[in-house]
Amino acid sequence: MEKRSRKQQPREEVRQQRAVTVGEVLVDVGADLRELMVKGGLAIAAALFTEEMAQLCGPRYERGEGLASRWGTRQGEVVLGGRKVKLQRPRVRQEGREVELETYRRLQAEDPLTERALEQMLVGVSTRKYARSLEPAPAGLTETGTSKSAVSRRFVAKTQEQLEAALSQPLGDRGWLALLIDGIAFHEHVVLVVLGVDDTGDKHVLAFREGSTENATLCREMLADVVARGVPADRSFLVVIDGGKGLRKAVNDVFGQYALVQRCQVHKKRNVLDHLPDEMRVQTRAALSEAYAAVSYELALARLQNLARSLGKKQPSAASSLREGMEETLTVKKLGISGWLAKTLETTNPIENLNKGIRRVSARVDRCRSGAMALRWVATGALEAARGFRRLKGHAQIGKLVATLRARDAELDATDVRRAG
């Protein structure tokens, strides 16, 4: 009779199981893994209840002086696996009053539910499909807290909390070099975002306001709040804006001579081209790009002035748009900054990265009921995008910008001293 080799021997399927002791409760680790999280969580909760009962009441069936008494059980619920689940909780009485179990109080806290709801929304799960995104609950287990309205309430509460935290965060522990400010459209609303750059090249989302860059009062309040939280108003730094008149006035009102305003070159190009017929746009766009690509401030300014004179003959409105704030589109060049750092700080493009994050997070929002809702969604998307921020392009040149700004401060201080004298 032919012997089978070891490899040919049929292998017997053996389902391995291991009982893990958690307090006084056994958890069958061989059970379906999708149910294990909930079953194991309930087992741990029961073990924690048992341990606390022993501390409060002593060993079962023994009465100790000054100890509490066991008082049966009652229907309760705890937060587990992204939902609330029903369970029997033990009761304790002492001196005629019921004593709340600290373990039960902590397991009832809805913070994990709120965090889970926020994360699910950020990765694209709708409130209607939230329950389907959870691990299936074991049969016979009563669960709550997964309805569309419950998830929505938790999401609103958490995003509002995040917004308030972002708007109250102290800002005085960093050296700030630049503020970039732009408005982001969200349905029929516009939300202003302030992005700060510190002296290491790191980016930080600093503030949000629902409104327009044309609203000087709103912009002034937003910037004043940033100053109150720690951004200095008596040291030179760069402020990159889109060119809104209200925002420009607010920058001057809050920071005065210490703000070096850089008008966004992309916005300027767009504004000029909007005044031109289609047949003139390609050539004018190339001329603008050539001017802004110039190495020196003087050469760039000369090219822009030549273009404005050329446009003034046939397209005076385009020429007027170009001349308005022309020199402020070259502020970074005037400071002697070049390369990637100049390209980054000459526009509000760094905020466009925020736009992508905001659009990804808010893509499922079909309608916006209020400015407060727009503010929450924009802030949520921006803060989520900020988690993946990288240092500013060209950050290796940050030292040169720091030295230039501090030298300007010394000049301003010396001027103030002479005037005071």
Q: If you compute the radius of gyration of the chain from its CA atoms, what whole number of angstroms results?
A: 32
Angle, helix 148-168 to helix 371-386, in steps of 10 degrees: 70
* CA pair distance 138, 155, nearest whole angstrom: 26
How high does pLDDT run on average in the chain? 82
Report the pLDDT value the prediction gives residue 26, as an integer from 0 to 100. 45
Q: What is the mean pLDDT of residues 144-166?
A: 73
For residue 139, the number of C-alpha atoms closer than 13 Å in the C-beta half-sphere is 1
Q: Angle at Cα 260 formed by Cα 420 and Cα 381, nearest 5°? A: 135
Q: What is the mean pLDDT of residues 341-368?
A: 84
Domain boundaries, the chain: 19-162, 172-414
In the block, tokens 């809104």 appear at 244
Pairing state between β 83-94 and 143-144: antiparallel
* CA pair distance 18, 21, nearest whole angstrom: 10
State the DSSP H helix or E strand holding residue 149, giving kind and residue range, or none if neither.
helix 148-168
pLDDT digits (tens, 9 = 90+) for 40-97: 667 777 788 888 888 888 888 777 777 888 888 888 777 666 667 777 888 888 888 8
* CA pair distance 49, 343, nearest whole angstrom: 61
Question: How would residue 128 be classed by pLDDT, with cut points 50, 70 and 90?
Answer: low
Question: How would residue 336 be classed by pLDDT, with cut points 50, 70 and 90?
Answer: very high
